[in-house]
């Protein structure tokens, strides 16, 4: 895989596929982590005299312009972080994009409007996707893939466009791949994996693959209740995917046969109803044993004994991968489990990787120093699919 060091960019129009899919509250960016992660590659290209055309998706618009998914607020924040103006094109391949790109001088930067405002970006039809990629290619002389959070998508700007231009991986993708190799090749042991989040179905593939690699797997978050149910415990009103119980039962049996330690909650913080995440009103939580959750309660976080247990299981690890919060961390009454796992990663001398998505957001929201972790990924889904052993279209497109 070539890097930007292998590209001649001075005076060239360089298309940078970034991942600027940040959370917005109206037009206010609530977490700019992905924008900050894109800055080094953009800065390097601009300083080398490239005319930098940045492009990204944001949210899930339906293939047509939708003001609530506009990248305009991102253009403003990107300019602040770069310390230089960022021109904003109000379309993807239309008159505004063409005029904005044409006006770029060497070392200048523009951001195109949301790529998903064009149906060709996400089209299943190869010809439709290819046609949009060809229009994007007409804007540029070279392509840099740097949106790691999108490399698991077979989208026009990720998969089809690199084939039409000289291409290379940006610094962010190169760094992400280097880190993920440390989690899959010649891993330093003990290797501990912490998985959370709402649905066990989202993690089945990675659990299946990691049963061949990890020494211990810690399970928290909403997905833990399906594991607890599979072991015969009552889970009350907690999140439960009954259809996944057979798969979970099989994984528990495989783990035991392979000597992989599965660590499940021993207590949980619960309430009679889900908390209000807007007002953050007190939710009257109670702590109960994980194997006997009352019928009227819903588990919303791992409990204090589980926090201690998880920390002890991470303390002697040499490698730790964490993906998924331990509870409803957005509410202060249910944030302590996620905080405890983050702190355990900070405290261990292990090489630690936070696997993007909600886990990365939680680290920032809870006030942790990002430099205290070995690596914070920008791509939750992409990281998981890499660890599952899947071929990621966006990486495959950069590898020739």
**Residue 359 among known ligand-binding residues:** yes
**Residue 60 among known ligand-binding residues:** yes
How many angstroms separate the most distant Cα atoms in the chain? 67
**Residue 307 among known ligand-binding residues:** no
**Residue 330 among known ligand-binding residues:** yes
Which among 199, 308, 364, 390 is annotated as catalytic? Answer: 199
Query: Comparing C-alpha atoms, which of 132, 84, 91 is closest to residue 109?
Result: 84
**Residue 77 among known ligand-binding residues:** no
Which among 33, 236, 303, 381 is annotated as catalytic? Answer: 381
**Residue 116 among known ligand-binding residues:** yes
**Residue 153 among known ligand-binding residues:** yes
Which among 33, 324, 327, 357 is annotated as catalytic? Answer: 357
**Residue 13 among known ligand-binding residues:** no
How many Cβ atoms sit within 10 Å of the Cβ of residue 391? 10
357 is catalytic: yes
Pair of tokens at residue 220: 């928290």
**Residue 107 among known ligand-binding residues:** no
254 is catalytic: no
**Residue 323 among known ligand-binding residues:** no
Which among 34, 48, 213, 307 is annotated as catalytic? Answer: 34
**Residue 58 among known ligand-binding residues:** yes
**Residue 106 among known ligand-binding residues:** no
Query: Comparing C-alpha atoms, which of 109, 92, 25, 15 is closest to residue 57?
Result: 92
Q: Are 92 and 117 in contact (CB under 8 A)?
A: yes
381 is catalytic: yes
324 is catalytic: no
**Residue 57 among known ligand-binding residues:** yes
Length of the chain: 400
Q: Are 344 and 312 in contact (CB under 8 A)?
A: no
**Residue 220 among known ligand-binding residues:** no
Q: What is the C-alpha to C-alpha distance for residues 70 and 91, in angstroms, rounded to an integer?
A: 10
Annotated binding site: 19-21, 34, 57-60, 116, 153, 203, 299, 330, 356-359
Q: Enumerate the active-site residues.
A: 34, 199, 357, 381
Write out the binding residues for ATP: 203, 299, 330, 356-359
In the annotated binding site for substrate, the residues are: 19-21, 34, 57-60, 116, 153
């Amino acid at each position: 895989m070539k890097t930007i060091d292998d590209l001649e960019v001075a005076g060239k129009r360089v298309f940078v596929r970034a991942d600027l899919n940040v959370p917005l509250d109206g037009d206010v960016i609530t977490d700019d982590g992905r924008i900050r992660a894109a800055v080094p590659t953009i800065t390097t290209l601009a300083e080398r005299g490239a005319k930098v055309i940045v492009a990204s998706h944001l949210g899930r618009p339906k293939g047509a312009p939708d003001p609530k998914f506009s990248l305009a607020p991102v253009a403003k924040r990107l300019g602040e972080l770069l310390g230089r103006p960022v021109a904003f094109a109000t379309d993807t391949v239309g008159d505004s994009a063409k005029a904005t790109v044409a006006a770029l001088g060497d070392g200048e930067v523009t951001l195109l409007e949301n790529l998903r405002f064009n149906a060709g970006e996400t089209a299943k039809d190869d010809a439709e996707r290819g046609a949009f990629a060809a229009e994007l290619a007409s804007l540029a002389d070279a392509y840099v893939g740097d949106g790691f959070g999108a490399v698991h998508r077979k989208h026009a700007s990720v998969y089809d466009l690199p084939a039409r231009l000289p291409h290379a991986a940006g610094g962010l993708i190169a760094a992400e791949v280097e880190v993920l190799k440390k989690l899959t090749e010649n891993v330093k042991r003990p290797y501990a994996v912490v998985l959370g989040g709402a649905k066990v179905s989202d993690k089945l593939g990675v659990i299946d693959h990691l049963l061949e690699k990890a020494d211990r797997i810690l399970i928290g978050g909403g997905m833990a209740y399906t594991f607890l149910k599979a072991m015969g415990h009552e889970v009350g009103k907690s999140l439960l995917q009954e259809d996944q119980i057979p798969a979970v039962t099989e994984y528990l049996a495989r783990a035991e046969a392979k000597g992989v330690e599965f660590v499940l909650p021993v207590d949980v913080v619960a309430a009679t109803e889900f908390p209000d995440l807007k007002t953050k009103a007190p939710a009257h939580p109670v702590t109960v044993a994980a194997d006997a959750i009352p019928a009227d309660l819903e588990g919303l976080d791992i409990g204090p004994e589980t926090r201690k247990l998880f920390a002890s299981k991470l303390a002697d690890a040499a490698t730790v991968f964490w993906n998924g919060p331990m509870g409803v961390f957005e509410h202060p009454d249910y944030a302590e489990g996620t905080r405890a796992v983050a702190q355990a990663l900070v405290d261990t001398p292990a090489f630690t990787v936070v696997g993007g998505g909600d886990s990365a957001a939680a680290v920032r929201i809870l006030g942790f120093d990002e430099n205290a972790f070995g690596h914070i990924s920008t791509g939750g889904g992409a990281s998981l699919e890499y660890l599952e052993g899947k071929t990621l279209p966006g990486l495959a497109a950069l590898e020739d």
